[in-house]
Structure 1
Amino acid sequence: MPRQSLAFNAGSHNQQLNSILACTQNIRSSCDTVAETNRTIEHYVGDFPRLRTVMDNKRHFGLVSESDVRQARNYVAAEIAPLLRELIVRAEDALSKEERYARTLRTQATQELADLEVRSYPQTKSSVPGTSPFAEDDTFSPTTLEEQQELLEKLQDQRKRLTEKVTQLEQNAQNRSPQSSSMAQ
């Protein structure tokens, strides 16, 4: 094919210009479409960095079927039930030991109170009413009377302490009784 002349050819030059003009308009239209697409995409994905941060910082839970939940609950119950039974038996044993100990202390306190009352009243030789416990034939000196008063005060203090201890043990036993019944359930 012969080489085209570089000289000005108005017909071909006009056709080339129209072709270039059409290409430029198509490129402009494409750029406008791309710009509009970018704006639309930016509108919809502009929140993604924030959402990604939120998703990274929060735990996500998947949905689990009810049968899986039942199966897991049954497995845990099977694992824990023997341990619970053993703990309940131990708690009942400890509670019964504490109750026996409280009964023993209560018995001791009752015995000590009875002994205290026996010691607190001076014994007389005659049990005839109207006779003084400090009759002339009794040999009570002021020192023995003072000793007996000191002994009486000591015994009264001991009685008070024992009564408080019994009350405290009874309260402990009462506090433990609801716990053992709730553990049995």
Structure 2
Amino acid sequence: MKLLYLSLFVLFVSCNNDNKETEIKDGPVNGADSNIISKKETQPDSIIVAESLLAKKINNILQAKEENSRWHVLNDKEAKWISGQFDYFITPKRKENPDYPYIAAGDFDGDNRQDLAAVVTDSTQIIYQLVIISDADSSKKINYWKEDILEDAAISTAPMGRIEGTVNEKIKKIELKSEAIHVEYFEKASFIIYWNGKSYNRIQQGD
């Protein structure tokens, strides 16, 4: 009888030790937070896309027209989007325009030839500019917008038509006789860069 009790006691102790080992293996290791989400459950804030044909075209024009040009079209890896901004604002528009938000195409100066606009940066990724290339297939005239552009600027093509905005803090209505460039800072400000027949001008549309 004593032998039976002794055997049961040894079996109980052995099972209890096995349970403790299992708990140690399955539980947090070295004080790690058990609430950390695994990498498989997280999603990147932005999608890095390969350089598009239009981006290559613009970069080639900048290199050819301006020897040792430091400028190139901004890309997802270089842009500084805040968390969630890319997925909410940019991803849906990428379905229609894969070059959004860095490149806009249209006839911006009304000569019936395709022009290109792009947000560009240099190797330091500190300075950003908006470049407008007139007649991208022939003369390839390069214009740099007179104002600096921030790293979170999104550009697109604005259609012809009547628009309203502010110029020098005064409300103004203008007729866009050609397509224009819409520059937007999500949830902050937006404006239109348009051709008035002689030069590019700006009209503010939102704060």
Provide TM-score, normalisation by structure 1. 0.27
Question: Does 1 or 2 have the higher relative contact order (CA < 8 Å, sep 6+)?
Answer: 1
User: Which has a greater percent of helix?
Assistant: 1
Provide TM-score, normalisation by structure 2. 0.25
Q: Which has the larger radius of gyration?
A: 1
